[in-house]
């Protein structure tokens, strides 16, 4: 796979659809300055819009439209991209997503089914809908077009002058980190950060292959993939990346710091990468310049809901 | 007054203290793209940190420290700048500021007095404290160093590549718009936006001099100055700027749009300038490129409080 070419093509497809998100440098979040990419300001509050636009723009969408299963952010992004590109969308959302994310999807006008249980249950129903109705499924993380779309984020960040040696990225199913690894190809160090209670990548790297893990905790509705994607696993294993975990308390503390220091209101998953730095799960070398990807802002409850 | 020189000096003084705030372009907020300056991501959630740092860094602060009266954002900024530069601070806050902003000031460790009533009552107490204790007062908007500090914002925005013909700016006491006018000197069109219920600048331009106005409404705790500052009035009158007002409903609608479209959570005052565009109080010419200054993020209640 020529990932650089795939990501360049994706960047061209999503230009004018996905938001170019701002960057800033903060001296208030950690003992040294930290570069931030404010990707939670993306349409629908997370990076997922990139993969969604890339997928829908790259393929012939059937008359039956799009179907997706999602803990919330992916479903919202697919629903939004479908509306903007003029396709029907049916989204299966696990109850765990919560009313704030469910409301976000409802406002796009997509057909919405709330499924009792967790992500895997919604995914089962989406697969059935795909088979029965002929709708096209957009996978949340383990598909080439999704990964290439998420890879545009790191491409964009580098074009914005990213100077850091090391980038910390939260991991759920692995679409975002796969895109970053696919773009960077070892040019910078990437640190994967997972909640201790949703550690699909750490467990896979330990086991030597993707394995199922239980998922729970404050970031589970965004990072709670039961199994890491094969694409993410292969890239992470090949590049030998660092993978650390953080407890829920550290995630909530990082969430609070982002809000109090900079009025950046993010969901717990969006603060997960910063937590690794603040809590000491990842300790940079002296002089190592670090960057943190802020990936999701769909906090619950909705503060203006 | 050589404002350009004053603002250049201010920029040098506050470098490394004030946050360089990011910019972005949105295609989702109005019928054409709008440039945004995300100044609500400044330390303590508003542009006020610029004037506070500039003032404290430019003068010899007395042993008795700093005193300020503030509806919230200025007090928070002065308290923060004082702590960072090693000075004592006493802040008089009118009750109208509300618990979110009062909590913000408390967390800086400043001495805090909550005064029953509105801004003018807190200002009276601050003046008395200044006389009796020998503390130095930092004026919220009508002082050269404050205005020059706020002027660094427009200087920074131009350095970040601002391309707009017209910039919309919310007005309370006028420190921010004075800084912008002082820097721009007519190089771009500036539109002043006030809530209909806090229209100190519009009333002054009508009357031909600053006059007292009643203040109320959703943005009163940030924009509710009873009288426009003389510096702001003189600059606005000399440059013949456009001045428009917006109703509270339009402000709340703009606040909701910023959150739903981009996960930018701002206080009503921070959405006031956008409201003028969305509600049609200011109607740009075809082809006129517009920019909106997002100036404050201290929303209440505190979503993580």
Looking at residue A176, which CATH number applies to its domain?
Answer: 3.40.50.1100
Residue A277 inside a domain? The answer is: yes
Same domain assignment for residues B186 and B280? yes
Same domain assignment for residues B197 and B265? yes
Q: Say if residue B119's pLDDT is above 80.
A: no
Give the pLDDT score at B70: 82
| CA distance, residue A29 to nearest chain B CA (Å) | 12
Q: Who among B21, B25, B262 is closest to A24 (CB)?
A: B21
Determine the average pLDDT of the residues in B169-193: 97
| CA distance, residue B25 to nearest chain A CA (Å) | 8
Residue that finishes a domain, picked among A113, A137, A161: A137
Determine the average pLDDT of the residues in A234-261: 97
Q: Say if residue A118's pLDDT is above 90.
A: no
The answer to whether B23 faces chain A, any CB pair under 8 Å, is yes
Cβ-contact A40, A295 below 8 angstroms: yes
Asked if the Cβ–Cβ distance from B261 to A107 is below 8 Å, we say no
Same domain assignment for residues B277 and B255? yes
Nearest chain A residue to B37 by CA distance is A22
Residue B301 inside a domain? The answer is: no
Give the pLDDT score at A71: 66
Q: Say if residue A2's pLDDT is above 80.
A: yes
Residue that finishes a domain, picked among A116, A137, A158: A137
Range of the domain at B33: 3-48+143-294
Cβ-contact B158, B298 below 8 angstroms: no
Same domain assignment for residues B89 and B218? no
- The residue of A14, A41, A263, A305 whose CB has the most chain B CBs within 10 angstroms, and thus the best one to mutate to test that interface, is A263
Asked if the Cβ–Cβ distance from A40 to B263 is below 8 Å, we say yes
Residue B305 inside a domain? The answer is: no
Give the pLDDT score at B101: 84
| CA distance, residue B37 to nearest chain A CA (Å) | 10
Residue A200 inside a domain? The answer is: yes
Give the pLDDT score at B69: 86
Cβ-contact A213, A200 below 8 angstroms: yes
Same domain assignment for residues A42 and A74? no
Nearest chain A residue to B24 by CA distance is A22
The answer to whether A21 faces chain B, any CB pair under 8 Å, is yes
Same domain assignment for residues A101 and A225? no
> ∠ at Cα A231 (A229, A232), nearest 5°?
65
Same domain assignment for residues A112 and A148? no
> ∠ at Cα B251 (B250, B252), nearest 5°?
90
- Residue B211 dihedral angles phi and psi, to the nearest 5°: -135, 160
Share of chain B above pLDDT 70, in %: 100
| CA distance, residue B7 to nearest chain A CA (Å) | 22
By the 10 Å C-beta count (0-12 exposed, 13-18 middle, 19+ buried), A171 is classed as buried
Dihedral, B174, B180, B186, B188 alpha carbons, nearest 10: -120
Give the pLDDT score at B71: 66
Residue B300 inside a domain? The answer is: no
Residue tagged 């080439």 (tokens): A144
Instruction: Say what the ipTM of the complex is.
Output: 0.93
Same domain assignment for residues A34 and A96? no
Q: For residue A255, which residues of chain B lie inside 8 Å, CB to CB?
A: 304
Same domain assignment for residues A42 and A176? yes
The answer to whether A77 faces chain B, any CB pair under 8 Å, is no
Give the pLDDT score at B178: 98
Residue B299 inside a domain? The answer is: no
Asked if the Cβ–Cβ distance from B19 to A262 is below 8 Å, we say yes
Give the pLDDT score at A40: 97
Q: How many domains does chain A have?
A: 2
Residue B109 inside a domain? The answer is: yes
Q: Please tell me the pTM assigned to this model.
A: 0.94
Give the pLDDT score at B305: 77
Same domain assignment for residues A151 and A219? yes
A36: its two tokens: 């931030």
User: pLDDT digit string (tens) for A176-200?
Assistant: 999 999 999 999 999 999 999 999 9
- The residue of B34, B263, B267, B299 whose CB has the most chain A CBs within 10 angstroms, and thus the best one to mutate to test that interface, is B263
The answer to whether B84 faces chain A, any CB pair under 8 Å, is no
Asked if the Cβ–Cβ distance from B303 to A298 is below 8 Å, we say no
Determine the average pLDDT of the residues in B237-259: 97
User: pLDDT digit string (tens) for A13-59?
Assistant: 999 999 999 999 999 999 999 999 999 999 999 999 999 999 999 99
Same domain assignment for residues B173 and B41? yes
Same domain assignment for residues B94 and B13? no
B183: its two tokens: 């820097």
Beta-carbon count within 10 A of A120 CB: 16
Residue that finishes a domain, picked among A93, A111, A137: A137
B302: its two tokens: 């505190």
Residue B190 inside a domain? The answer is: yes
Name the average pLDDT for chain B: 95
């Amino acid at each position: 796979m020529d990932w650089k070419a795939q990501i360049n093509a994706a960047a061209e497809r999503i230009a004018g659809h996905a938001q170019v998100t701002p960057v800033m440098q903060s001296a208030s979040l950690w003992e040294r300055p930290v570069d931030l990419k404010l990707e939670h300001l993306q349409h629908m509050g997370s990076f997922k819009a990139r993969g969604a636009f890339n997928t829908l723009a790259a393929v012939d969408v059937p008359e039956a439209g799009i179907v997706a299963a999602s803990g919330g952010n992916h479903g919202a992004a697919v629903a939004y991209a479908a509306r903007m590109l003029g396709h029907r969308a049916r989204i299966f959302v696990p109850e765990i997503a919560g009313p704030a994310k469910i409301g976000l999807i409802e406002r796009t006008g997509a057909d919405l089914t709330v499924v009792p249980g967790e992500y895997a249950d919604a995914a089962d129903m989406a697969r059935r809908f795909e088979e029965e109705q002929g709708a096209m499924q957009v996978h949340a993380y383990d598909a080439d077009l999704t990964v290439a779309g998420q890879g545009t984020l790191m491409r964009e960040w580098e074009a914005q002058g990213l100077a850091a040696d090391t980038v910390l990225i939260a991991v759920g199913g692995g679409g975002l980190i796969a895109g970053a690894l696919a773009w960077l190809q070892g040019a910078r160090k990437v640190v994967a950060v997972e909640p201790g209670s949703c550690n699909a990548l750490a467990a896979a790297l330990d086991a030597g292959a993707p394995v199922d893990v239980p998922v729970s905790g404050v970031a589970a509705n965004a990072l709670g993939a039961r199994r890491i994607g094969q694409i993410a696993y292969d890239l992470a294993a090949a590049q030998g990346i660092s993978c650390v975990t953080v407890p829920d308390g550290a995630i909530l503390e990082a969430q609070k710091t982002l809000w109090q220091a900079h009025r950046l209101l993010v969901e717990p998953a969006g603060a997960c990468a910063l937590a690794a730095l603040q809590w000491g799960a990842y300790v940079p070398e002296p002089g190592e310049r670090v960057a943190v990807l802020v990936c999701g802002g769909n906090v619950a409850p909705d503060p203006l809901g």
